[in-house]
Chain A
Amino acid sequence: MAEKLIMGNEAIALGAIRAGVNVVSGYPGTPSTEVLETIAKHNPGDIYVEWSVNEKVALEVGAGAAYTGARTLVTMKQVGLNVASDPLMSLAYIGVKGGMVILVADDPGPISSQTEQDTRHFAAFANLPVFDPTTPEEAYEMIGEAFALSEQYGTPVLFRPTTRVCHGCARVDVRDEREHHIAEGFVKDAKWVIFPRLSYQNHIRIEALQKTLADVFSAYPRNEVSGSGARGIVASGVSYCYTKEALKDFKDPYKLFKVATANPFPDKLALSFLEGLEEVVVYEELDPVIEENLVRLCGKYGLATRIRGKHTGDAPYAGEYSAEQVAGSLAAFFGHPKKEKPKPDANAPVLPVRPPVLCAGCPHRASFYAVKTAMKGQKAVFTGDIGCYTLGNAKPLDMVDTCLCMGAGITIAQGLHRSEPDARHIAFIGDSTFFHTGIPGVINAVYNETDITVVVLDNSTTAMTGHQPHPGTGKTMMGDLSQKVDIAGILAACGVSHIDKCNPLALDSAVETVKRAVAHPGVSAVIFEAPCIALFKPAQTLRVSDACIGCKKCIREIGCPALAAEGKTVRIEPSLCYGCGLCAQICPVGAIGGDEK
């Protein structure tokens, strides 16, 4: 291959293939998803790749493979690691035989996440090394180094890119050569069984390993000190790129410390950097991990260097950074006057607000509308979950009252109902989320005799992250057909006594189906089955005839982005319409009809 424009996640994937990865597992989550997809796409044929049902499962599958000596990669987003934290903490004690890299993508901003949590804390918490690439081209090289380190020291390794590295593209020199690793196979040994006595011994061992790895990382060329002067700048990840960009405009002398591995912290290299420095400023997105390590070193060695960063107000705790922000902070650090920000133009026209919305034709819109119609006039709380359907919170649907984390819709509903039994509680959950962490909540509801209704929004895909297969689709990431896991069958086996399926786009029957389920005492379920619009081509588009009386009920009730008020009437944008027909069922005068496409 050659020098190509490659996305950070693709670079990581191609780097893992080059490093001879044997087994890859993961659960989709922005900004990590494309790593596993790229490995599947460029699979030379001998790599096993799977979307697992959740991150805990993925990590355990990866650990099992690594026990045999296979090189394994597990991928997830930062909140996925919360789900996988149980095996992670124990695996750090047990260790691995084959190189095992756990890729966890952090999302400063956050741009597509529930939290701005920092995976480097998990690294310190679990006593695991963590690699923090600055660019796609560095990530391509670094992933192989992470595998090698994991294998050499028998420890799983965290690899933690952030959104701007994952979804940034750069010129990468992709090379064709590939390492080959053949798994020896599982060798029975007491070391694979975690017991308190073993854990005590292993705790001593992994603490010692932290010291060893800190020295290894002090000599790791991607941790780099350059420059001279009495002022020092420390940066990591994409913030290092912002810092380099911002420094182009300064002539002041400085020492620069690039930190590629925040844990174990490269103490020796950091001490050599701190030597002779009066002040240091740290630029790292999310939490002050490097900053606090430097404060620790100053305390430990009695250094007078002042460490500036988040704790001193030189950089913000929340949100993502930019080159401009770093430039502003650097100006203050170097003692230059603050640059005035250009004021926004007072004459600029008012801009339209564009919150993300459910796509035109999305069956979730019909599902939410059916439940809303069925529950009109009743005291009801609608608990939501993670997926495209979180967007059901937007007006005019306004059908998501809570959203916490994967699988929490079904369980939050139960807690609400315990405390407020006179209200109806309806939990929405997508098909992929149902398999991920929804099922234990259903069992809990049945076991503890709660009166809730579970609405499964089954669109036959994992839509939000870009249409990955899941257990209900009958397809795997290896491209094979597999047995479909039946959601209704699972609900029945869990003891849900009232289960109904229907097409949400047939509005009247959908409303009746919801009413029947809600009226049923105990745990009831409705499975709304209609495919995501990305899975098919529309057979027709709808248009508004002259019969339109301009009441705009269609716009007010369902808020489909293909509908727009045009003068006194309504127009349907043909390039957006999927012909789902929901608006036609709402129009009081039958003014909306179809055109064959």
Chain B
Amino acid sequence: MKLNCLLAGVGGQGTVLASKILAQSAIDEGCMARTSETIGMAQRGGCVVSHVKIGEDCFSPSIAAGGADLLIGFEPAEAVRNLSFLKPDGCAVVSAKAIKPVTSSLSGDAYSSDGMLAYLKGTVRRLVVVDTETLCAEVGNAKTLNIILLGAALGAGLLPFSKETLLRTIQGHLPEKIWAVNRRALEAGIASQPSYISE
């Protein structure tokens, strides 16, 4: 098993947990895995990136430019910001919902997800756009965005794990009282009809 996966989002979206679930799932299947995280001041609404490297000969904890097989964008602009990490034939799974920084509200520059998604559609060879807003509402918990995106990546055939492996890892990382909601989130992600899929 070999996979370089970059998770990009905004502080508070749950990228760290998602990256741990991916790496632990790989370890459970007998593989070496490393991750590198953004923790600290940048977490307060800043850009965050998690690197997940799966494979026996991964030395560096971070992915080089043009080295990611998969980019999971928790936010459209953050996916665009980190596109240079993606291999030319890499895949991207991106949440359609924009998070507008308060600074853009202040300066009045209208940032919307449409421009970002249009750019991604024209640039990424294999792109899956996920309507996470609707899915989070269906699941009934906005905090399950990370698991929904993992489900969408799994449903699109972009993760080298079974649903059971991911579920087991999720349960290993979360308290029992939120297992059910996260199971629903994973299933909603797997079953989701991407609002756009290229190729």
List residues of chain A with CB under 8 Å of any chain B CB. Answer: 3-5, 7, 30-31, 111-112, 135, 164, 167-171, 238, 241-242, 244-245, 248, 322-324, 327, 342, 344-345, 347-359, 388, 391, 394-396, 464, 552, 555-556, 559-561, 563-565, 575
Contact = CB atoms under 8 A, between A and B. Distances in A.
Contacts of B105: 552, 555, 559, 563-565
A464 B41 contact: yes
A396 B106 contact: yes
Interface string B25-63: 001000011111111111111110000000001111110
B43 to A, nearest CB: 7
Contacts of A552: 105
B44 A564 contact: no
A111 B42 contact: yes
Contacts of B24: 4-5
Contacts of A348: 80, 83, 119
B36 A167 contact: yes
B178 interface: no
A75 B44 CA distance: 24
Given A324-B65, A342-B65, A396-B106, A111 B38 contact: yes
Contact of A565 (B19, B59, B108, B142): B108
A164 to B, nearest CB: 6
A323 B34 contact: no
A564 B41 contact: no
Given A248-B57, A563-B105, A564-B100, A349 B119 contact: yes
B106 A352 contact: no
Contacts of B83: 348
A111 B84 CA distance: 21
A323 B64 CA distance: 7
Given A354-B10, A354-B101, A391 B59 contact: no
Given A3-B27, A30-B39, A164-B61, A353 B34 contact: no
A245 B58 CA distance: 7
Contact of B60 (A323, A350, A359): A323
A342 B47 contact: no
Contacts of A358: 44
Nearest to B66: A342
5 contacts: A3-B27, A30-B40, A241-B60, A248-B57, A464-B40
A13 to B, nearest CB: 15
A169 B20 contact: yes
A312 B118 CA distance: 45
A346 B78 CA distance: 17
> Which among A169, A241, A355, A552 has the greatest number of chain B C-beta atoms within 10 A?
A169
Interface of chain A, helix or strand or loop or mixed?
loop
Nearest to A345: B123
B66 A171 contact: no
Contact of A354 (B23, B46, B61): B46
A359 B106 contact: no
Contacts of B84: 342, 344
Contact of A112 (B10, B37, B42, B64): B42
A561 B119 contact: no
Contacts of B37: 7, 167-169
A344 B81 CA distance: 11
Contacts of A31: 39-40
A5 B33 contact: yes
B77 interface: yes
Contacts of B45: 354-357, 359, 561
B104 interface: yes
Contacts of A388: 44
B11 A356 contact: yes
Given A248-B57, A349-B80, A356-B45, A556 B64 contact: no
Nearest to B46: A356
B116 interface: yes
B47 A354 contact: yes
B62 A560 contact: no
B162 interface: no
Nearest to B173: A5
Contacts of B109: 350, 352
Given A4-B24, A112-B41, A167-B39, A351 B62 contact: no
Contacts of B108: 565
A351 B81 contact: yes
A560 B100 contact: no
Closest 8 CB pairs of A and B: A112-B40, A245-B60, A244-B59, A30-B40, A168-B61, A356-B44, A323-B60, A356-B46
A170 B101 contact: no
A323 B109 CA distance: 36
Interface in B72-108: 77, 80-81, 83-84, 100-106, 108
Given A167-B39, A342-B66, A357 B102 contact: yes
Given A171-B33, A353-B101, A395-B106, 6 more contacts: A4-B27, A167-B38, A169-B37, A170-B34, A349-B119, A561-B102
A555 B61 contact: no
Contacts of A324: 64-65
Contacts of A396: 106
B115 interface: yes
B111 interface: yes
Interface in B118-147: 119, 123, 142
Nearest to A344: B84
Contacts of A171: 27, 32-34
Contact of A352 (B32, B39, B111): B111
A242 B36 contact: no
Contacts of A345: 123
Nearest to B143: A575
Given A241-B60, A323-B60, A168 B35 contact: yes
Contacts of A164: 36, 61-62
Contact of B41 (A5, A238, A356): A356
Contacts of B19: 169
B27 A5 contact: yes
Contacts of A464: 40-41
A497 to B, nearest CB: 36
A575 B14 CA distance: 14
B41 to A, nearest CB: 5
Contacts of B81: 351
B20 A555 contact: no
Given A168-B61, A169-B20, A352 B44 contact: no
A575 to B, nearest CB: 4
B60 A242 contact: yes
B20 A5 contact: yes
Nearest to B19: A169
Contacts of B38: 111, 167
Nearest to A560: B102
Nearest to A29: B40
